[in-house]
Structure 1
Amino acid sequence: MPEGDTVWLTAHKLHEALAGRVLTLFDLRVPRFATTDLTGREVLDVTPRGKHLLTRIEDGFTLHSHLRMDGSWRVFAAGERPRGGPGHQIRAILGNSEHAAVGYRLPVLELLRTQDEARAVGHLGPDLLGPDWDPGAAERNLLADAARPLGEALLDQRNLAGIGNVYKSELAFLARCTPWLPVGELPSGVPARLVATAQRLLEANKNRFERRTTPGERRTEQRLFVYGRVGRPCLRCGTLIRKAGQDERVTYWCPRCQSGPTGPADA
């Protein structure tokens, strides 16, 4: 599931393949931009911003994309046949003499003037993997609405940018609080530790696609503490992990290790 670490790694791979090279192919397969042709222009950089990708192109253009649940960018050698899904799922192809970057199932794809990037990402809070990272501001944002459940506050990209449903569940477990606990009821010191842990985990995982939050060389099925492990024993206490709906998503928790209210659709 694409979260801030996955987006950072995707941006890094796109930057390596595209930056500093002139586009020989520019194909956006969305009606609004289907006739736009930026071939002959140089790609300047590919920058991640939370869960957003900004591909900046010569003459003041930015291609903004967002992966959401199942979008992806794949890089292939020039002339290589793309292998990321059926052709009808391709939304964008950016090619040069050496590589082709192909975007599959991209739910957000728009071409902006670079000077207008704030329209797409200006609402975001401090980026956990960005140069603007500010743990103090992230903590203040997180606590701004004392009645808001922790899980919802963590997912709100206006508070801090980069956390998705996986990290939401894992961070609540590591804080020993359920995702439904109001942030105003977090024990003293926990918000600061939460923010620091979030940044540490994303930093540790940004160079690999197989995300890991548990310490040591655990088996693949034990690389996360609670996410996706409903009905399996907690890696700390052995209690069976449970799941419930929260804000139109599924969240996971350990009923023994985590204190606080639980979800209405407890499974």
Structure 2
Amino acid sequence: MPEGDTVLQTAKRLHGALAGQELTRSDLRVPRFATADLSGRGVLEVAARGKHLLTRVEGGLTLHSHLRMDGAWRVFAQGERWRGGPAHQIRAILSTATHTAVGYRLPVLELLRTEDEERAVGHLGPDLLGPGWDPDLALRNLLAAPARPLGEALLDQRNLAGIGNIYKCELCFMARATPWLPVGELPPRTAALLVTTAKQLLEANQDRPVRITTAAVRPRTGTGPAPRPRRPVDDLWVYGRAHRPCLRCGTPVRTAEQDARPTYWCPHCQTGPAPHS
């Protein structure tokens, strides 16, 4: 499932291609809205709310979509060949005079009144990349069920919106806690720092083509030796590094499922319960 920074990047691409222009074609390929036609309406903006995308058009309407595991929006210049999947996977087409946005495999696609957007996203906790970010509320939400495993609490978008499975694993590593540790057992300072770090990570990666959670390589200064080039395998602390040495201590990283998602952790650096694997 895409992380909040990826969804924000998608919103920015869609906004840049569609906002301020009139739709020349609108094709929503879901039964409930198959007869809806947005052609002739101007696109006001495309915004991200957590992992949700909101395309607002004239007339007080919003096209709400969610990518979940493998949905995608692709933007093409007029005349460019569409790439993103076979035609039967297309769920939405929005065209202007200059660009076409094509939604592939979208599991959530609905047209609603803009004034009713809260019906779709009102359940979300504070948005890590949104203007209404509230770290105190996010922390209270996260700790509201003390017995809940930390990894599950971080993924619950009702607590704080924008964390996906990659950030879940990376944040648990940075907190030196396994994803199965009851969230209420985190030291208060660690819990507060976890929320702050989550925002810092997503903000740092919101415009990057490649997500990095480990320390960035600093630019060369002075006449000293150049820093060792970063290898892509070193961009993340533990996610995707099963059986490879931990970047901090060298212990092989372990993996197991948590809530049907592959989860990675270092058995030496992170304390707390963990499954045998």
State the TM-score bracket (shorter-chain normalisation): over 0.9
Equivalent positions of 1:60-139 (< 5 A) are 60-139=60-139
Match of 1:261 in 2: 273
SS of the residue corresponding to residue 26 of structure 2 reads strand
| 1:26 and 2:26 correspond | yes
Offset at 1:119? 1.0
Offset at 1:84? 1.2
Match of 1:55 in 2: 55
Deviations 1:149-187 (A, max 9, x none): 100100000000000111000000000000011111001
CA contact (8 A) 1:11 1:53 kept: yes
State the distance in 1 between where 2:3 and 2:108 align: 15
Offset at 1:89? 1.1
Match of 1:219 in 2: 231
**Residue-pair matches, total:** 265
TM-score w.r.t. structure 2 length?
Answer: 0.94
Offset at 1:79? 2.5
| 1:249 and 2:261 correspond | yes
Offset at 1:85? 1.4
CA contact (8 A) 1:41 1:57 kept: yes
State the distance in 2 between where 1:14 and 1:113 align: 20
| 1:236 and 2:248 correspond | yes
State the distance in 2 between where 1:191 and 1:94 align: 43
State the distance in 2 between where 1:188 and 1:31 align: 49
SS of the residue corresponding to residue 45 of structure 2 reads strand
Counterpart of 2:27, as a letter, is: D
Deviations 1:79-123 (A, max 9, x none): 222111111111111000011011111111111111111111000
Equivalent positions of 1:183-222 (< 5 A) are 183-217=183-217, 218-222=230-234
CA contact (8 A) 1:6 1:209 kept: no
Runs (4+) of structure 1 moved beyond 2 Å? none
Offset at 1:2? 1.1
Deviations 1:31-78 (A, max 9, x none): 111111110000110010000000001101100000111111111102
State the distance in 2 between where 1:173 and 1:152 align: 14
Structure 2 residues not aligned, in runs of 5+: 218-229
CA contact (8 A) 1:234 1:240 kept: yes
SS of the residue corresponding to residue 22 of structure 2 reads coil
Deviations 1:113-158 (A, max 9, x none): 1111111100000000000101111011101111111001000000
Equivalent positions of 1:7-46 (< 5 A) are 7-46=7-46
Offset at 1:208? 2.2
Offset at 1:188? 2.8
Offset at 1:246? 1.1
TM-score w.r.t. structure 1 length?
Answer: 0.97
> Cα 1:110–1:86, aligned 2, differ >3 Å: closer, same or farther?
same
SS of the residue corresponding to residue 189 of structure 1 reads helix
Offset at 1:216? 2.7
State the distance in 2 between where 1:257 and 1:232 align: 14
* Residues 205-214 or 228-237, more deviating: 205-214
SS of the residue corresponding to residue 188 of structure 2 reads coil
Identity, % of aligned positions: 72
State the distance in 1 between where 2:250 and 2:84 align: 39
Counterpart of 2:148, as a letter, is: R
